[in-house]
Structure 1
Amino acid sequence: MLEPKVQDTRWQILLCLKKSAGMTVNQLANTLGLSSMGVRQHLAILGRDNMVGYDWERRDRGRPRYVYKITEAADKLFTKHYLLTSIEILDAIHDLYGPEAVEQVFRKRMENRIEEYSSRVNGENLAEKVIELTRIRDEQGYLSEFEETKDFFMLKEYSCPNVQISNKYPQVCEYELELLRRLLNTEVINECAVKDGTHFGVHRIMKY
């Protein structure tokens, strides 16, 4: 995905926080290979810029600890800047031509992306296809990764470029799901989504 103009280490901190429900200074330091003092310095700057906030986490023993999380302002860094314009265009299409015209836009967008990505998602087996699809989704800003189990692949996405669109036009999620099914030629089940308030979305990609 495209990185905004944030200093590299602080961007890595934001990435870690985006992929989690919150992290402590020590957790960030261990993950990034930094000193606790260094992490605190970066968090102070991110806090000043309204990029991170924190909650108190109470423990059975010892003092409560800070758990850092990204703010709404930081979360917007993971969303493509053209989203608001896209929503305005969809609104105009809806007002001028009706809801079916919006459906046609989503359908055409899906077909175009299938045509564009089919040449890349062409592995000899499902695993190869999932690897390439995950790479494509990551390029699109989904912060994607996958895990493999005996019966399915689990595609996890920590960001969703469509989340603002889906708030007004939820059918975009169905077209995204159909896109995955057709590219992978297998059943794909959505288990949870970023728009539902979870810190990541999950697609279950069946092996049968």
Structure 2
Amino acid sequence: MAAETQLQTETRSTEGDTRRQVMLLLLKEGPITASNLGTQLGLSAAGVRRHLDILVEDGLTEVVNRRPQPKNGQSAGRGRPAKHFRLTDKGRSQFGHTYDELASEALDTLREVGGSEAVKKFAILRMERLLADIEPLVGENESVVDTARKLAAALDDNGYAATIHEAGHGVQVCQHHCPVARVAEQHPELCEAEQEVFSALLGTHVQPLASIADGHGICTTNIPLTPITNNSDERSRA
């Protein structure tokens, strides 16, 4: 039984490595035919098709139909287009990127040149652009809750997976994902700017309760709907 389990594990590992090689070749040379893939990787036709079928099913690879290229001045003919394969955007993303590192290095340089305030100004301008379609609250007849809902919807559209719900004497905007969390860990000005822009749009002070950049699973911003009174001050005035 143990030997069978080990064999299954080794098979899965080998298949994973082979599939990675298939994807790497697609990345370098795609679109490419299954037969060409098999030749370069030393796989049988059935073997390479099995891997390609799985990759297509997972949305990592897609089929592109191309007619055979003419040879020696001959016409390409009217045969069935050759089936080529290439990586999808999802497939390409499996090879990773260094956007977070690049952004962090850029902000490090900005801090060296202009200090923390320069980073803060950049962060504020960025958040203002994301929320540019939201009109700031300026009158008593306007609803803080409605504006907060628009704010959450705009954040959601930009990849923050935002929701809003009532909580006590206020509402809370919750961001279940942060596209710049890793950068914000090194540059807290991003979170500070976000709160300032929220406050400016809502016309009221907001309370950051939790942050993904600080290790929490969610970013939570509380928006009070009624003034918070101090009981001791009320007793002293009585």
TM-score, normalised on structure 1?
0.53
Match of 2:189 in 1: 171
Match of 2:118 in 1: 104
Q: Deviations over 1:98-131 (max 9, x none)?
A: 5x1x422421441464376354245731111011
Which one of the candidate residues 195, 199, 207 is aligned to 2:217?
199
Give me the whole-angstrom Cα distance separating, in 1, the residues matched to 2:150 and 2:171: 13
Runs of 4+ in structure 1 off by over 6 angstroms are: none
Match of 1:159 in 2: 177
Amino acid at match of 1:117: L
* Alpha-carbon contact 1:154-1:202 (below 8 Å) kept: yes
What are the ranges of 5 or more consecutive residues in structure 2 without an aligned counterpart? 1-53, 59-92, 227-238
The alignment of Structure 1 onto Structure 2 pairs a total of residues equal to 130
Give me the whole-angstrom Cα distance separating, in 1, the residues matched to 2:129 and 2:189: 20
Q: Deviations over 1:81-103 (max 9, x none)?
A: 743321121122234x15x1x42
The aligned runs of 1:34-183 (5 Å cut-off) are: 82-95=99-112, 97-98=113-114, 100=115, 102-111=116-125, 113-114=127-128, 117=131, 119-122=133-136, 124-183=142-201
Percent of pairs identical after alignment? 22
Q: Provide the secondary structure at the position in 2 that maps to 1:173.
A: helix
* Alpha-carbon contact 1:181-1:188 (below 8 Å) kept: yes
What are the ranges of 5 or more consecutive residues in structure 1 without an aligned counterpart? 1-44, 50-75
Q: Provide the secondary structure at the position in 1 that maps to 2:134.
A: coil
